[in-house]
A and B are shown apart, each in its own frame.
Chain A
Amino acid sequence: MSIQTKAKSKSHIPENSILFEKIVPIALIIMGIITFGLMLFAAGVLLGIVQF
């Protein structure tokens, strides 16, 4: 009998981690808002509403 070993490389986010429970979600929300704001700003430049 031979044995085949199959390894799956799939790690999990640690439970009760301040980094993943607090810092990452807040960072994602803030960056999402900034990105949306920058896109509006760039669209404003494109449409001539914002002088840049």
Chain B
Amino acid sequence: MSINQILPFISTAIMLWFTVDVFQRFLVRRNPAFLFWGIGLAMFGAGSFAEVYLSLAWNKWMFFIWYLFGAALNAAWLGHGTLYLLVRKKWAHVISLILIGGSLFAANLMLQAMPKLDETIFTTSKPISEQYGTKALDAGEPVPAGAQTITTTYRGEEVTAVRGLLPLGTAVRLTTPFFNIYGLLTLVGGAIYSAYLFWRKRVMPNRVIANVLIAAGALLIGFASTLTRLGYGEFLYLGELLSAVLMFAGFRLAAKPQPEEVVVRNSIPASAD
């Protein structure tokens, strides 16, 4: 087993532990933030597990899980949990309905794309994130080394494209940026904003650091994915692992009880006993 197969296993294990921890908190506190974080983390874990599987063998339903949960939805669901801490519950509930509807719509589009997958292109020698999408080449753009190309008609024009599992113009790919922009804004933006509020009020130093760790962890996975897309796929699994560790550490730190500082003593008349 190579290091690239071991690292996602460790990430998956951490995510599983993290997910159970968050769901347990939801059961105790009944706060919707924990529910959405838990679901988002479960999606992250499922995506990591599918990634491990696809580094060993092909299975189209593992690809379905990897793309839908790992690449498209998990950041939005994680970030939506943070939204519950920042806006009125009424508004968060409305956005929950939009998120659930959008996720079902994306799942339906992904199901429609499944019969069209170009499975013959799949290889275990490259991370799945380097081979999922078909990319049209601009006129005169050189073909990347080792890439297989196809000439096809796209938007009324004949184009040469680097082959990928999902065909050119697959509708589900258009939904991914919406989820990821929302996830980035609420998860990273929410953590930065929360850290700033605590820092400005000079209270809860553990929550300041916790939110910095959560924001850094979420940004790290975004960076690792971008580097992979730019051809530096060797950082992806390490990035995922560090991201899982940072976010888990941030969450545990935020949930840690603070030392008791102020003790208020109230005298109550004996008759009230």
Cross-chain contact of A20 among B136, B205, B216 (Cβ < 8 A): B205
Tell yes or no: B78 within 8 A of A by CB.
no
For the complex formed, measure the closest distance between the CB of A19 and the CB atoms of chain B, giving whole angstroms: 8
- A51 to B181 alpha-carbon distance, docked (Å): 16
Q: List 5 A-B contacts (CB under 8 A).
A: A2-B270, A8-B260, A28-B195, A28-B196, A35-B189
Docked-complex contact B184 and A20, CB < 8 angstroms: no
Tell yes or no: A16 within 8 A of B by CB.
no
For the complex formed, measure the closest distance between the CB of A18 and the CB atoms of chain B, giving whole angstroms: 13
Docked-complex contact A20 and B135, CB < 8 angstroms: no
Tell yes or no: B125 within 8 A of A by CB.
no
Cross-chain contact of B262 among A10, A24, A46 (Cβ < 8 A): A10
Q: Which residue of B lies closest to A46 (CB)?
A: B177
Provide the residues of chain A in CB contact with B195, threshold 8 Å. Answer: 24, 28
For the complex formed, measure the closest distance between the CB of B48 and the CB atoms of chain A, giving whole angstroms: 21
Q: 13 more A-B contacts (CB under 8 A) besides A1-B270, A20-B205, A46-B181?
A: A3-B268, A6-B266, A7-B262, A7-B263, A9-B261, A11-B205, A11-B258, A11-B259, A12-B203, A14-B205, A19-B209, A28-B212, A38-B184
* Given known A-B contacts A2-B273, A9-B258, A10-B258, A31 and B192 have beta carbons under 8 A apart: yes
For the A-B complex, the count of residue pairs with Cβ-Cβ distances under 8 Å equals 112
Task: Name A's B-contacting residues (CB within 8 A).
Answer: 1-14, 19-20, 24-25, 27-28, 31-32, 34-35, 38-39, 41-43, 45-46, 51-52
Docked-complex contact B192 and A1, CB < 8 angstroms: no
Q: Which residue of A lies closest to B179 (CB)?
A: A42
Docked-complex contact A39 and B208, CB < 8 angstroms: no
Provide the residues of chain A in CB contact with B242, threshold 8 Å. Answer: none
Docked-complex contact A27 and B181, CB < 8 angstroms: no
Docked-complex contact B269 and A4, CB < 8 angstroms: no
Tell yes or no: B185 within 8 A of A by CB.
yes
- A38 to B181 alpha-carbon distance, docked (Å): 8
Docked-complex contact B205 and A27, CB < 8 angstroms: no
Q: From residue 98 to 143 of chain B, which have CB atoms closer than 8 A to chain A? A: 135-136, 138
- A32 to B192 alpha-carbon distance, docked (Å): 7
Q: Which residue of B lies closest to A25 (CB)?
A: B199
Provide the residues of chain A in CB contact with B261, threshold 8 Å. Answer: 8-12
